[in-house]
């Protein structure tokens, strides 16, 4: 999977790194929509939010039209505020982490949660939650739990609002294609949801399942072992597969995205050097299919990669929750998970930071 960073996230990061920029922007109390803040997705997936612009009398006319100013229309009522203003950050907070924590702590101060016309407005709530979530990577993790709990508490006992918050959190923090995808952030949101005093039985089952899925093979835990057969037909296990770092790739030969991703990895010069020096072992595993189909696909895999066919029922027994293929895991020599559901960029970054 390949994740792109949306323009709005770059603005947020830049503002956090520049204390004076945040102070100046906050004191104006200008809605971020007027500063062309795009957010990650906007009100609908794949679309940037509408940005209000001020019409100009000197704007160029179309072909064959005069450039004289058009008659002024009667004043229209102001559009409803679509984005909450940033809180003013005290100048005494200088580090990006402390500034981000302060903004998160006060992000919803201007929100009237008793106004259900606003709290149940998906477009409004999604835009502001996207802005809110974009701050998570910049704050200390200790600041995230209380801010999420305060948000859900502020929503009160309105189940429709709480359900909407949960749906948007899942979309932005748990969908692999989201530029804000981070299971650890979504896990904090799930835990806060499960602590609410008015649980819905069906939703509770769903949240608990998602929480269990996130905890399974999470970074720092030992990866679930499984048996597989290799190119030579030998029976092997993940636990006994040698390598100081092991890149585990779950794929399907019929998946075009899998093949494109593996081709990128195969032609990555830096990863190729790591394989040559023995610092990285690659195991590509077909986790759900017939042996004949698997053997026909072996010609598409580099010879220096290990190739395996699962014989443990990885998907049937949910040893790994494969929500999207390919699924990439980076493991250490003792098969502890370093990166879960990662991508080529994060893998290169890991080795580059060592």
Q: Looking at the chain, which runs of residues are DSSP E strands?
A: 227-229, 235-237, 245-251, 281-286, 306-310, 327-332, 337-339
Peptide bond into 217 cis (omega under 30): no
Is pTM, for the whole model, over 0.85?
Answer: no
Query: Given this model, what pLDDT does residue 16 score?
Result: 54
Classify domain 227-352 at the CATH class level: alpha beta
**What is the distance between the alpha carbons of residues 258 and 169, in angstroms, rounded to a whole number?**
27
Band (43; pLDDT cuts 50, 70, 90): very low
Tens-digit pLDDT profile for residues 312-330: 999 999 999 999 999 999 9
User: Using CA of residue 142, residue 146, residue 149, residue 150, what is the dihedral sign?
Assistant: negative
Q: Which residue has the higher pLDDT, 61 or 344?
A: 344
pLDDT of residue 218: 96
What's the order of all strands across the beta sheet hosting 337-339?
A: 235-237, 227-229, 306-310, 281-286, 245-251, 327-332, 337-339
Instruction: Give the closest residue to 155 by CA, choosing from 143, 167, 168, 164.
Output: 164
- Say what angle helices 7-17 and 122-133 make with each other, to 10 degrees: 50
Please tell me what DSSP assigns to residue 60. Answer: P
Region 103-121: mean pLDDT is 95
Residue 238 has pLDDT above 70, yes or no: yes
pLDDT higher than threshold 60 for residue 102: yes
Q: What is residue 56's predicted lDDT score, i.e. its pLDDT?
A: 35
- Give the pLDDT confidence score for residue 15 in this predicted structure: 55
- Say if residue 37's pLDDT is above 50: no
**pLDDT band for position 197 (50/70/90)?**
confident
- Tell me which of 135 and 34 has the higher pLDDT: 135
Domain boundaries, the chain: 7-44+88-215, 227-352
Please give the pLDDT value at position 23. 39
Helix (H, G, I), strand (E, B) or coil at 310: strand
pLDDT at residue 157, as a whole number? 76
pLDDT at position 244 over 50: yes
- The backbone region for 64, taken as left when phi is positive above 0, alpha when psi lies in -120 to 50, beta otherwise, is left
Sorted by sequence, the CB contacts under 8 Å of residue 92 that are 6+ apart come out as none
Write down the pLDDT at residue 182: 95
Find all residues with CB under 8 Å of 109, minimum gap 6, and list them: 87
Q: What is the pLDDT of residue 235?
A: 97
Q: Do 140 and 184 meet the contact criterion of CB atoms below 8 Å apart?
A: no
Closest-CA residue to 6 (of 131, 151, 174): 131
User: b/e string for 7-26 if b means 16 or more Cβ within 10 A?
Assistant: ebbebbbebbeebeebbebb
For the ranges 69-78, 195-204, 211-220, the lowest mean pLDDT is seen at 69-78
Q: Is 71 exposed, middle or buried (0-12, 13-18, 19+ CB in 10 A)?
A: exposed
Mean pLDDT over the full length of the chain: 81
What is the percentage of the chain residues whose pLDDT exceeds 90?
70
pLDDT band at 272 (very low <50, low <70, confident <90, very high): very high
Integer distance in angstroms from the first to the last C-alpha of the chain? 23
* Predicted local distance difference test score (pLDDT) of residue 200: 78
For 49-58, 86-95, 285-294, which range has the lowest pLDDT when averaged over its residues?
49-58
pLDDT of 54 reads 29
Q: Is the pLDDT of residue 104 over 70?
A: yes
- Predicted pLDDT of residue 156: 78
- In this prediction, residues 308-312 reach a mean pLDDT of 96
Residue 45 has pLDDT above 70, yes or no: no
Under 8 Å between Cβ of 187 and 211: yes
Number of Cβ within 10 Å of residue 309's Cβ equals: 22
Q: Which two tokens stand for residue 158?
A: 């309105």
What's the pLDDT score for residue 108?
96
Integer Cα distance of 81 and 94 in angstroms:
29
């Amino acid at each position: 999977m390949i994740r792109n960073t949306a323009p709005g996230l770059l603005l947020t990061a830049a503002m956090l790194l520049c204390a004076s920029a945040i102070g100046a922007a906050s004191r104006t109390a200008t809605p971020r929509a007027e500063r062309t803040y795009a957010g990650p997705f906007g009100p609908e997936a794949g679309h940037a939010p509408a940005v209000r612009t001020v019409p100009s009398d000197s704007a160029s006319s179309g072909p064959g039209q005069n450039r004289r100013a058009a008659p002024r229309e009667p004043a229209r009522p102001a559009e409803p505020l679509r984005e909450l203003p940033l809180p003013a950050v005290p100048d005494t907070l200088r580090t990006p982490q402390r500034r981000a924590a302060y903004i998160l702590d006060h992000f919803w101060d201007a929100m009237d949660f008793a106004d259900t016309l606003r709290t149940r407005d998906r477009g409004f709530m999604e835009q502001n939650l996207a802005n809110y979530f974009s701050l998570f990577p910049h704050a200390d993790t200790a600041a995230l739990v209380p801010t999420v709990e305060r948000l859900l508490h502020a929503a009160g006992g309105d189940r429709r609002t709480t359900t909407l918050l949960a749906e948007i959190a899942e979309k932005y923090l748990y969908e692999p294609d989201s530029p804000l995808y981070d299971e650890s952030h979504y896990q904090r949101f799930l835990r806060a949801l499960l602590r609410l005093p008015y649980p819905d039985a069906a939703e509770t089952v769903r949240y608990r399942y998602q929480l269990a899925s996130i905890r399974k093979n999470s970074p720092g835990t030992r990866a679930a072992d499984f048996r597989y057969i290799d190119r030579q037909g030998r029976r092997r296990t993940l636990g006994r597969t040698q390598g100081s770092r092991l890149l585990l790739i779950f794929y399907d030969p019929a998946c075009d995205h899998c093949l494109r991703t593996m081709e990128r990895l195969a032609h990555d010069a830096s990863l190729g050097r790591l394989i040559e020096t023995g610092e990285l072992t690659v195991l590509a595993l077909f986790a759900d299919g017939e042996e004949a189909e698997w053997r026909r696909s072996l010609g598409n895999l580099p010879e220096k990669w290990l190739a395996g066919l699962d014989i443990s029922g990885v998907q049937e027994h949910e040893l790994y929750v494969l929500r999207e293929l390919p699924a990439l895991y980076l493991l250490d020599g003792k098969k502890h998970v370093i990166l879960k559901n990662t991508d080529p960029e994060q893998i290169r970054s890991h080795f580059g930071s060592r």
